Amino acid sequence: MDTVLITGGTGLVGRALTEMLLEKGYKVIVLSRRPRRSNHPGLRYAQWDLHRKTLDTTALQEADHIVHLAGANVAEGRWTERRKQEIVDSRVQSGQLLYERLSDTPNKVRKVISASATGYYGPYKDEIFREDDPPAHDFLGTTSRAWEDSIRQTERLGKKVIVFRTGIVLSLQGGALREFYKPLKLGFATVMGDGQQWVSWIHLQDLVRLYFNAIVNDRLSGVYNAVAPNPVTNEELVMALARAAKGKSFVSVHIPAFALKLALGEMSIEVLKSVRVSSEKIQETGFLFSYPEVSGAVEQILQQHK
């Protein structure tokens, strides 16, 4: 069975993907700054260090595929200049390090499958974005472009590169949905701004299935939007979560844009940004979403959470 090397393997998506791959009999190596022992015979940890530009090349030599998920959490803390640089460096320098070590280390890697973000697009309210649209000129747009460019260098080495521009990942284990769920415990459904900004989302299980599909399906190549077929507004997402969690026992509260700007600073731009993204390209490959509608997605997540 093939071996998959995962960067960012201790994050939300990486943990879920690792679990799926192990269940299917794959061997998994997780690159980490702080390697740990594994109790699973198919899983081991290897070390890399972006600052020192070091990477355990034995892990690279064993790998048949690389899944590149590494990147600092964009929603964690205010966007100071230092934090913004960390967000960029964690993505671009990690891609550059992979390219350099693949260049100078004998290996059998066939595919490099990388995360990117729908923050690449925007912020036009009524436009539906597709993979060949240009990047936005804002912070996440320019960061996403540099992120993709750093990993697509590996095409020069004869590797097939697949990039998933991922929307809001729905899970109560982490991410935006968990933050929306917290005030619901007190009976408040918190809508951001006027709530009419488009949110392109994907259930965690569907995202993990997309990555697995990219590993096994040799027809996939290039960039795909990793979003469910039916984007919703922020208000529709919050209301779907509230109804699934509380029935009718909640109060809807709008947090004004100015309050978000005071609380979040520049990051509020992304919270209020409207990005409506098409999933048509990945669907044309034959991929079927298990959770195409947000109501079914949040209901399943809450059922699993009980």
CATH of the domain at 30: 3.40.50.720
Q: What is the mean pLDDT of the chain?
A: 93
Contact between 110 and 159 under an 8 Å Cβ cutoff? The reply is yes
The residue with greater pLDDT, 230 or 176, is 230
Whole-angstrom Cα distance, residue 13 to residue 201? Answer: 14
Question: Token digits for 297?
Answer: 């997605």
Q: What residue spans of the chain are helical by DSSP H?
A: 12-23, 57-62, 81-104, 139-152, 176-184, 204-216, 234-246, 257-264, 268-272, 280-283, 294-305
Contact between 291 and 206 under an 8 Å Cβ cutoff? The reply is yes
In a domain, 301, yes or no: yes
Tell me the whole-structure pTM to 2 decimals. Answer: 0.95
Give the pLDDT band (50/70/90) at residue 127. confident
Length, in residues, of the chain: 306
Whole-angstrom Cα distance, residue 254 to residue 247? Answer: 19
Select from 162, 78, 70, 75 the least CA-distant residue to 113: 162
Whole-angstrom Cα distance, residue 244 to residue 297? Answer: 10
How high is the pLDDT of residue 77? 78
Whole-angstrom Cα distance, residue 144 to residue 139? Answer: 9
Contact between 1 and 26 under an 8 Å Cβ cutoff? The reply is yes
In a domain, 246, yes or no: no
In a domain, 251, yes or no: no
In a domain, 241, yes or no: no
Q: For residue 224, what are the domain limits?
A: 3-235+262-305
**pLDDT higher than 70, residue 98:** yes
How high is the pLDDT of residue 125? 67
Whole-angstrom Cα distance, residue 187 to residue 253? Answer: 10
**CA separation, residue 305 to residues 39, 139, 171, 271 (Å):** 25, 34, 9, 25
In a domain, 37, yes or no: yes
**pLDDT higher than 80, residue 185:** yes
How high is the pLDDT of residue 306? 66
In a domain, 166, yes or no: yes
In a domain, 108, yes or no: yes
Amino acid at 161: V
Give the pLDDT band (50/70/90) at residue 63. very high
In a domain, 257, yes or no: no
Contact between 29 and 62 under an 8 Å Cβ cutoff? The reply is yes
Helix-helix angle 204-216:12-23, to 10 degrees: 50
Number of folded domains in the chain? 1
The residue with greater pLDDT, 42 or 270, is 42
* Element spanning 46, H or E: strand 43-49
How high is the pLDDT of residue 7? 97
